[in-house]
Chains A and B, each alone.
Chain A
Amino acid sequence: MSAAALPGRATYVAVFVALLALMAATIAVAYIDLGAWSATVAERYGELGRWNTVVAMSIAFVKAVLVVLYFMHVRYGRPLIWLVAVAGFLWLVLLIGGIATDYFSRDLLAPPPPVVVPE
Chain B
Amino acid sequence: MTTPTSPPATPETARLAHHFDDLEQQRSANVLGMWLFLVTEVMFFGGIVTAYIVYRARAPVAFAEASRHLDVVLGSVNTVVLLTSSFTMALAVDAAHRRRRQLLTGFLLLTIALGGAFLAIKFTEYYHKYESGLMPLLGLEFRQAAGSEPEQLFYGLYFAMTGLHALHMVIGMVALGLMARLAWRGRFDHGNDTPVELAGLYWHFVDIVWIFLFPMLYLIDRHS
Partner-B contacts on A (CB < 8 A): 1, 3, 6, 8-9, 12-13, 15-16, 19-20, 23, 26-27, 30-33, 44-48, 52, 56-57, 59-60, 63-64, 67-68, 70-72, 77-78, 80-81, 84-85, 87-89, 91-92, 95-96, 99-100, 103-104
Q: Which residues of A contact B53 (CB under 8 A)?
A: 96, 100
Query: Complex formed: what's the CA distance from A13 to B86 in Å?
Result: 11
Q: Within the complex, what minimum Cβ distance (angstroms) separates B28 from chain A?
A: 6
What are 28 sample pairs from A and B whose C-beta atoms fall under 8 A apart? A9-B91, A15-B87, A16-B84, A20-B83, A23-B76, A23-B79, A26-B215, A27-B219, A45-B57, A46-B60, A46-B61, A46-B63, A46-B221, A47-B64, A60-B212, A63-B211, A67-B208, A68-B208, A71-B87, A71-B90, A71-B204, A72-B200, A80-B28, A80-B32, A81-B31, A81-B35, A96-B46, A96-B50
Q: Out of B27, B63, B201, B211, which one reaches A72, CB within 8 Å?
A: B201
A contact face: mostly helix, strand, loop, or mixed:
helix
Interface string of B34-53 (1 = CB under 8 A from A): 01101100110011011001
B224 at the interface (CB under 8 A from A): yes
B89 at interface (Cβ–Cβ under 8 A)?
Answer: yes
Complex Cα distance, B68 from A30, in Å, reads: 12
Contact of A88 among B38, B207, B223 (CB under 8 A): B38
Taken together as a complex, chains A and B put the C-alpha atoms of A47 and B87 apart, in Å, by 32
Q: Which residues of A contact B221 (CB under 8 A)?
A: 46-47, 52
- Quick check: A1 and B24 within 8 Å, CB to CB? yes
Residues 61 to 109 of chain B near chain A (Cβ within 8 Å): 61, 63-64, 72, 76, 79-80, 83-84, 86-87, 89-91, 94, 97-98
A1 to B191, CA, bound (A): 11
- Is A48 a contact of B56 with CB atoms below 8 Å? yes
Most buried by B among A52, A59, A71, A89: A71
User: Given A33-B224, A57-B215, A77-B31, is A95 in contact with B50 using a C-beta cutoff of 8 Å?
Assistant: yes
